Structure 1
Amino acid sequence: MAYLNKLEDNFQNLTNNSMSFEEVFQHIVQFIKKDPTGQYRLIFGTDSQVHTTYTRFITGIVIQCETKGAWACIRRVDVPRKMLNLHERISYETSLTEEVVSLFTKEKKNRLIDIVLPNIYKGSSFIIEGHIDIGSSQKNKTRIFVNEMVSRMESLGIEPKIKPDSFVASSYANRFTK
């Protein structure tokens, strides 16, 4: 993909302007280690906004512990043109999410699972979700893409979520597209 930014130092949040993927992964590991008995959701999602001369895409990574907070970061990609075709934009959002998910190799996922696994009988859990900024309601123009994008998330082995349950894409990432 011609527009993808270099991944090595391309993540940021409110406290860190430039993080490598390895630093992001270590933040997630440390967050889970604080309470290995927690119920965790590792969530990915991308949103976009068409601007005057470019289209901004923001991919969010969120590790959430039910009732105990979250840690999050984003990755920004700017495409130097207005992407007005809805299918192209939704498909590219999904591709960017897939790209970030792919950084979580089997070994990395297993490392996270290994932290909570000894506590599974104490209520701990770990799931991975892909939040897609589309909806299935009649009024939503993106409804015709739901099956395609949901299938793409499922093919990665992650649980797809669409509106109104796709808050990482439709709320968190959306805040940074403006």
Structure 2
Amino acid sequence: MDFTSPSKGKMNFEEMMEDILNYIKGLPCSSYKIVVGTDSQVRRETCFVTAVIVHRRGKGARFFYRKLSQRKIISLRQKIFYETTMSLELGARITDYLARTGMEEFNVEIHIDVGHQGETKDLIREVVGMVTGSGFQAKIKPDSFAASSVADRYTK
């Protein structure tokens, strides 16, 4: 599955992770957070976009995204659970890569496209439980910028 870097173009998972590690090694004294979030848009098909952001706290960020189209999903509940599952799968893959490269001190944060306003408020407890039960920190709107801002931008 290919990822896109707005500045470097298409890359595979390994290339993306090497770029993330090089970004971190470029300023090792800084504090970093790695964030994954997925959003989707329903048209004839459902377009899912998962964003990976490496945030150099107080000094900018770098991000990557991947797009995947699936059959049309009408159920909001099913769509939110699918988005969350996609983020969790990628978060686990990133965590595994970081552990294999001796960078296990970096925790991956999962951003979920749900919030206390709107139709998704009834799903918060379930999807946050899914994320925290998988060993990740979960963020919801308005703090879930990876899903609600970055990924959302590329679903259009």
Deviation, structure 1 residue 161: 0.2
Alpha-carbon distance between aligned partners in 2 of 1:46 and 1:106, rounded to the nearest angstrom: 19
The amino acid of 1:131's aligned partner reads H
User: Does the alignment pair 1:104 with 2:84?
Assistant: no
Match of 1:86 among 56, 65, 76: 76
Match of 2:12 among 1, 20, 35: 20
8 Å CA contact retained: 1:47, 1:133: yes
The amino acid of 1:91's aligned partner reads F
Deviation, structure 1 residue 170: 0.1
- Cross-structure match for 2:38: 46
Runs of 4+ in 1 over 3 A off after TM superposition: none
User: Does the alignment pair 1:142 with 2:117?
Assistant: no
8 Å CA contact retained: 1:40, 1:127: no
Match of 1:29 among 21, 24, 27: 21
- Rg larger in 1 or in 2? 1
The amino acid of 1:43's aligned partner reads V
Which ranges in structure 1 are unaligned for 5 or more consecutive residues? 1-6, 115-125
Which ranges in structure 2 are unaligned for 5 or more consecutive residues? none
Deviation, structure 1 residue 128: 2.2
Alpha-carbon distance between aligned partners in 1 of 2:5 and 2:94, rounded to the nearest angstrom: 19
**Deviations, residues 29-62 of structure 1 (Å, cap 9, x unaligned):** 00110111111110000000011x1110000000
Deviation, structure 1 residue 156: 2.4
User: Does the alignment pair 1:131 with 2:105?
Assistant: no
RMSD between superposed Cα atoms in Å: 1.6
Deviation, structure 1 residue 113: 4.1
**TM-score by structure 2 length?**
0.92
**TM-score by structure 1 length?**
0.81
Alpha-carbon distance between aligned partners in 2 of 1:85 and 1:60, rounded to the nearest angstrom: 22
- Cross-structure match for 1:120: none
The amino acid of 1:49's aligned partner reads Q
Alpha-carbon distance between aligned partners in 1 of 2:37 and 2:95, rounded to the nearest angstrom: 17
Q: How many residues align?
A: 155
- Cross-structure match for 2:147: 169
Alpha-carbon distance between aligned partners in 2 of 1:154 and 1:46, rounded to the nearest angstrom: 16
Aligned-pair identity (%): 36
